[in-house]
Structure formats: structure tokens, C-alpha cells
């Protein structure tokens, strides 16, 4: 049972927009800790996709965007491409656990 | 260029102790703000943070595994070592070494190793 809750799966056709939610609590996202997102392509290590709720590292396409409100955060992907098919994880910090916490991951399928 | 690579035994028996080494390059663990941690991922499951050590030797552990984990660093060798005692088949997972180098002020991992699959079986 992950501390941050994500939908197990989402899907969309090429060119469409999808969103992935990440729900936390008052000891992590709701406490003001930033949310970061990682993309894990099949059989590879995770890669930082969004940091500080809504910022993209250099090289990440602007099709990827993030937002945060209250105890939740969201990752949006527009103009879906086949290469976006991957697992996506949100991550934050939890003050009750004094440590880093991840979501359960969301598998994105491009139809 | 920043790289991290995990090494250690990939098959351990139940009750044994696992020792994993993360050897990195392209940054120094003596630089203020830098941290190196371990995250694991059981087959088909989610990421789970285990431990992290900072440049100033501040160590953090997952509360649920704290009694079994020890993280240390050797700055001169650019290595971080994780030991996990009393291994069980449920500890079978890919173990990743990951670093926080950039993005000062954020608790994240911006560089990851390729991971090493550790299987616990008799």
C-alpha cells in the first residue's frame, strides 16, 4: 500500500490528452512538500520527468506538465505518442515518515 | 556526465545479509546538498524508498525497514554501500541507487543507476 495513491492504469489514443492523479495527505503533499514525477519505460530505470510540482528538466518535452493543489497533484500529457507508453510515478516527502514516498505507479497505454 | 552503477550478489538465501555497492562518477558526495539513496522495486510492483545518505553523513531510513538497513559512504572511492539483514523472499526486487545532485531544495532523485535484480531464494 503506497503512501501516495495513483490510478493503476490510464489509456489514450495518439494525439489525445491524458491526466494521472496523485493523492496524498496532510503529512506529505498537503503539508506543502513538492511533488515530482518519474517516467519508467519498460525494463529501464525511472527518469525524472517533472520536479517541484510543475517544472520540466532540460530535455523533457512541453507535452508533459504538472500541477498541485491541496493534497493532490496531477501529471498531464498532451499529444500522446506511442513512445509515451510507460509507467509513471509521483514522489514526495512525508514528515510523519521522515522520508521519501512514492505513488503506486500508473501504467499508461497508448491505444 | 553523471553515472551510477549498482553491484553486489544477485542471489542470496533467506536470513542472509545483502550488501550492495553504488559506485558513481561525475559528482562528489562531499559537495553540500548532495545525497545518494537506494530505492527498490519488486517485480511488477511500485518503487519503494529504502535509505539515503547526505554529503554531511546525515542518514535517513525507511521506518518500516530501519532496523534491517545500514547505509554508509566512502567519499574517496565515490561509493555508497547499503546492507540489509535477514533477507526474505519478499525482498526480491530490483535495487536502484539514485542521487540527488541538482535541483537544490527539492527532495528528489535526478540521477539513477540501471538497477540490479536481487533474488532471495534457498
Q: What is the pLDDT of residues B32-55, one digit of tens each?
A: 999 999 999 999 999 999 999 999
Grade residue A88 by pLDDT with cuts at 50, 70 and 90.
very high
Three cell numbers, residue B120: 532471495
Contact A3, A100 (CB under 8 A): no
- What is the spatial distance between Cα A21 and Cα B8, in angstroms, rounded to a whole number? 36
CB–CB contact A51 B96 (8 Å)? no
Rounded to the nearest integer, the mean pLDDT of chain B is 96
| The predicted structure's pLDDT at residue A49 | 98
Query: From its phi and psi, is residue B44 left (phi > 0), alpha (psi between -120 and 50) or beta?
Result: left
As given in the structure block, the three cell numbers for residue A108 are 499508461
Between residues A1 and A74, which one has the greater pLDDT? A74
Taking an 8 Å cut-off on Cβ atoms, the answer to whether A51 and B108 are in contact is yes
Pair A90, A35: CB distance under 8 Å:
yes
Residues of A in contact with B46 (CB under 8 A): 2, 89, 102-105
pLDDT at residue A1 is higher than 90: no
Q: What is the pLDDT of residue A73?
A: 98
Q: Quick one: pLDDT at residue B107?
A: 87
The per-residue pLDDT for range B45-103, each reduced to its tens digit, is 999 999 999 999 999 999 999 999 999 999 999 999 999 999 999 999 999 999 999 88
Residue B3 has pLDDT above 90, yes or no: yes
Q: Quick one: A60 exposed, middle or buried, by C-beta within 10 A (0-12, 13-18, 19+)? A: middle
| 8 A C-beta contact, residue B46 and residue A2 | yes
Amino acid at each position: 500500500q503506497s503512501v501516495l495513491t495513483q490510478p493503476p492504469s490510464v489509456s489514450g489514443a495518439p494525439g489525445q490528452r491524458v491526466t494521472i492523479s496523485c493523492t496524498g495527505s496532510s503529512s506529505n503533499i498537503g503539508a506543502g512538500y513538492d511533488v515530482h514525477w518519474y517516467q519508467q519505460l519498460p525494463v529501464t530505470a525511472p527518469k525524472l520527468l517533472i520536479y517541484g510540482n510543475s517544472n520540466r528538466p532540460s530535455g523533457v518535452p512541453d507535452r508533459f506538465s504538472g500541477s498541485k493543489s491541496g493534497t493532490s497533484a496531477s501529471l498531464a500529457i498532451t499529444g500522446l505518442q506511442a513512445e509515451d507508453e510507460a509507467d509513471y510515478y509521483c514522489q514526495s516527502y512525508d514528515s510523519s515518515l521522515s522520508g521519501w514516498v512514492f505513488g503506486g505507479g500508473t501504467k499508461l497505454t497508448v491505444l | 556526465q553523471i553515472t551510477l552503477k549498482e553491484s553486489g550478489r544477485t542471489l542470496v538465501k533467506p536470513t542472509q545479509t545483502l550488501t550492495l555497492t553504488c559506485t558513481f562518477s561525475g559528482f562528489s558526495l562531499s559537495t553540500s546538498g548532495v545525497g545518494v539513496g537506494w530505492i527498490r522495486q519488486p517485480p511488477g510492483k511500485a518503487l519503494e524508498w529504502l535509505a539515503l545518505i547526505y554529503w554531511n553523513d546525515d542518514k535517513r531510513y525507511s521506518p518500516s525497514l530501519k532496523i534491517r538497513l545500514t547505509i554508509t559512504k566512502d567519499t574517496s572511492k565515490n561509493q555508497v554501500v547499503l546492507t540489509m539483514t535477514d533477507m526474505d523472499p519478499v525482498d526480491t526486487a530490483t535495487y536502484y541507487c539514485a542521487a540527488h545532485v541538482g535541483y537544490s531544495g527539492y527532495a528528489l532523485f535526478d540521477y539513477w543507476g540501471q538497477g540490479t535484480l536481487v533474488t532471495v531464494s534457498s
